[in-house]
């Protein structure tokens, strides 16, 4: 169903991919946009319970796209160091594919918003206060991961030995 990685030597383990998802702050979400064109948008996200959560306004391009086709991809770049003298980039990244769903119940939305907020601010009171303040405009989306791969530059692979 999903392609195998061509350069298997550079593939990161599942644990390394999860570490990247747990620490990275920004990702690029890919959806099927208007007229079948890909639409990508940077988002902040959290990885929790083997899922990705992010928030959004209740209306807009990405919400319309998810409602039309829930298949999405997410790209996270963890490392991106240009090495001029080698004419290359030392990189680490994760790409995942999954199905997105717009959460509907207050319990699901509150959970997603709280785990998301606590990734960026560990003050539970402040996070809960912000959720309540934004509640009426808040939409939360969950991505159930179906396939995930990570890759690093061959130079980083070689350094591992």
For residue range 90-130, what is the model confidence (pLDDT) as tens digits?
889 999 999 999 999 999 999 999 999 999 999 999 999 99
CATH 2.30.110.10 fits 8-153, yes or no: yes
Sign (positive or negative) of CA dihedral 43, 26, 134, 50: positive
Q: How many CB atoms lie within 10 A of CB 126?
A: 12
> Three-class SS of residue 40?
strand
pLDDT at residue 157 tops 90: no
Domain boundaries, the chain: 8-153
Residue, of 23 and 154, whose pLDDT is higher: 23
Mean pLDDT of the chain: 93
Rounded CA separation 71/67 (Å): 10
């Amino acid at each position: 169903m999903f392609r195998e990685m061509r350069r298997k030597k550079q593939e990161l383990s599942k644990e390394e991919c999860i570490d990247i998802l747990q620490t990275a702050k920004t990702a690029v979400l890919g959806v099927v946009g208007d007229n079948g064109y890909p639409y990508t948008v940077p988002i902040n996200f959290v990885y929790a319970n083997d899922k990705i959560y992010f928030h959004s306004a209740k209306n807009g391009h990405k919400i319309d796209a998810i409602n039309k086709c829930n298949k999405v991809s997410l790209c996270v770049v963890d490392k991106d160091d240009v090495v001029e003298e080698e004419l290359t980039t030392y990189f680490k990244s994760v790409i995942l594919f999954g199905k997105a769903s717009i959460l509907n119940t207050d319990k699901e939305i509150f959970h997603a918003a709280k785990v998301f907020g606590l990734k960026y601010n560990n003050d539970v009171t402040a996070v809960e206060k912000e959720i309540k303040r934004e509640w009426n405009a808040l939409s939360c989306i969950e991505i159930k991961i179906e396939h995930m791969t990570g890759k690093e530059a061959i130079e980083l692979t070689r350094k591992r030995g």
